[in-house]
Amino acid sequence: MTRPTPPEAYPPGTVDAAPQPVDDEALRAFAEVGVPFSVDPHERAEHGRDWWPLSLATTHDGVVPHWPGVVVAPRSTAEVRDAIRVAARHGLAVTAQGGRSGVLGGAVAPTGGVALDLTGLDRILDLDLVSGTVTLEAGVFGPDLERAINAEGFTVGHFPQSFELATVGGWLASRGAGQFSNRYGKIEDIVRGLTVVLASGDVVTLGGRGPRQAVGPDLVQLFVGSEGSLGVITEATLVMRPRPTCERRLALRVGDFDTGMALCRTILQRDAHPAVLRLYDETESRRNFDVDGCALIVLDEGEPIMVEATMAVVREVTRDATTLDVGVVARWLEHRNDVSALAPLWASHVVVDTIEVAGPWSTLTAVREAALDALRSLEPTIVASVHQSHAYVDGACLYFTFAGQPPGDPRDYYRAAWDAATNAVLDHGGSLSHHHGVGRNRSRFVRRALGDGFDVLRDVKDALDPTGVLNPGVLGLGGEPW
């Protein structure tokens, strides 16, 4: 079974002075219900971090900013239920964790709380080869899922950058998007049903009665993107697709980003949905592909007749662009999940991160210019760049990358960069997040991003989790944001 690899190892001796775990009475209660747990200092330190870039800096410096009181590792929905009931009785916060591949601190278990490690829920429960669905537990990792269903001729088609590290539960909790999502959809399009354990310990089964139903609001979607704050997802049913039998690739160069965005918009609005349609600005085109100008890469896969029709539209729309060697696409495929440079950069006191947002086509130019200007206006910023990673009929996702070398505490510049870029995006009608979610890093912006809707979200939280047991602090709910 796949297991996550930490982004950076703690220096020797870091975890030797661990604070006391949760009290003995709580540990006895976990033991009485038969749920495995650990108070080992190394386990607790590891479960007090995820892939949030700030964790890279503290880990390198040998600092453990969060010490969960206990790591609880259930192996079934029933054991998740029992663990949450014990935690609630003892007033312990519960942070559901999968591969801990999130980059915004949403899977960081707070000091003294319960790190609920769901990777033991790793079974595929049912394959419906007629309907094309798979039911599985939330701790299944992406590669393990794909290997199992590939053998039956299927794929789910959900390939986020964190594919090797993330679990199905994490995909759902963060409302994630895979890199081939123009063809296969985002996780909210792929899910058909959920099993969720509520803060009360009650277990609810939602959906699972076909591709759609009109029986009030969609309760499945209430928990997709809830980041463990409304309930803990333990099982899911996902729709599968037949494995593709055809693939086509195309690499192009356009003179400027706005021209490339107009081409992407036209492709989507002509109802062509290539699995991958990514546009890079001049900075990222040179850095990633040694291309002058703006690189546009296209990849589609599926049934041959559908792929050929899609690519015919793409070629017609982009007929005035310069064709590049198709090896540019292969280069992207080879390096698309490589984040190995992040830890060494943070260790050298270079602050690096990414900010992904979305917006309608009509405002994306203003969003892009405002966010880049905001990042570049900060004195420590070395570079700020952008690419478009997902496209829709009515808008797209912009993915900003920034790097800076501040003279003092890197957290000050990091927070200033996020404040500047996020406020610029919201000022110009963009969204707070496209697919990374909120976690703790973005929680301070949620009220502004949702407006009056934030009060509705807060009321839902209060109804489902009145004592604030579940992942306090994420989504701006139930705890102090970072």
Q: What is the pLDDT of residues 355-411, one digit of tens each?
A: 999 999 999 999 999 999 999 999 999 999 999 999 999 999 999 999 999 998 899
- Structure confidence at residue 14 as a pLDDT band (50, 70, 90): confident
| Portion of the chain with pLDDT greater than 90, in percent | 90
Q: What is the pLDDT of residues 322-364, one digit of tens each?
A: 999 999 999 999 999 988 888 889 988 999 999 999 999 999 9
pLDDT value of residue 73: 98
The pTM (predicted TM-score) of the whole model is: 0.96
> 2 pLDDT exceeds 60?
no
pLDDT value of residue 147: 98
pLDDT value of residue 68: 97
- Structure confidence at residue 56 as a pLDDT band (50, 70, 90): confident
pLDDT value of residue 408: 86
Q: Considering only the C-alpha atoms of the chain, give the largest distance between any 2 of them, rounded to a whole number of Å.
A: 71
Residue 436's nearest CA partner among 405, 384, 398 is: 398
Instruction: Give me the chain's average pLDDT, please.
Output: 96
> 4 pLDDT exceeds 70?
no
- Structure confidence at residue 16 as a pLDDT band (50, 70, 90): confident
Instruction: Name residue 474's beta-bridge partners.
Output: none
Kindly give the pairing relationship between strand 114-117 and strand 70-72. parallel
Residue 382's nearest CA partner among 348, 358, 357 is: 348
pLDDT value of residue 3: 61
Assign 3-state DSSP to the chain and report helix, strand, coil percentages, each to 5.
35, 20, 40
Residue 107's nearest CA partner among 183, 179, 47, 25 is: 47
Q: What is the pLDDT of residues 57-66, one digit of tens each?
A: 888 889 998 9
CA-based R_g, the chain, Å: 22
Residue showing tokens 């850095």 = 287
Q: What is the pLDDT of residues 304-316, one digit of tens each?
A: 999 999 999 999 9
> 479 pLDDT exceeds 90?
no
What structural domains does the chain harbor? 14-120 (3.30.43.10), 124-242 (3.30.465.10), 246-335 (3.30.70.3450), 342-463 (3.30.300.330)
Are 70 and 30 in contact by the 8 Å Cβ rule? The answer is yes
The whole-number average pLDDT for the span 211-219 is 95
Our CA angle for 131, 133, 137, nearest 5°, is 155
Q: What is the pLDDT of residues 398-449, one digit of tens each?
A: 999 999 999 988 999 999 999 999 999 999 999 999 999 999 999 999 999 9
> 224 pLDDT exceeds 60?
yes
Are 387 and 396 in contact by the 8 Å Cβ rule? The answer is no
Which residues contact residue 272 at a Cβ distance below 8 angstroms, ignoring those fewer than 6 apart? 309, 310, 313, 314, 317
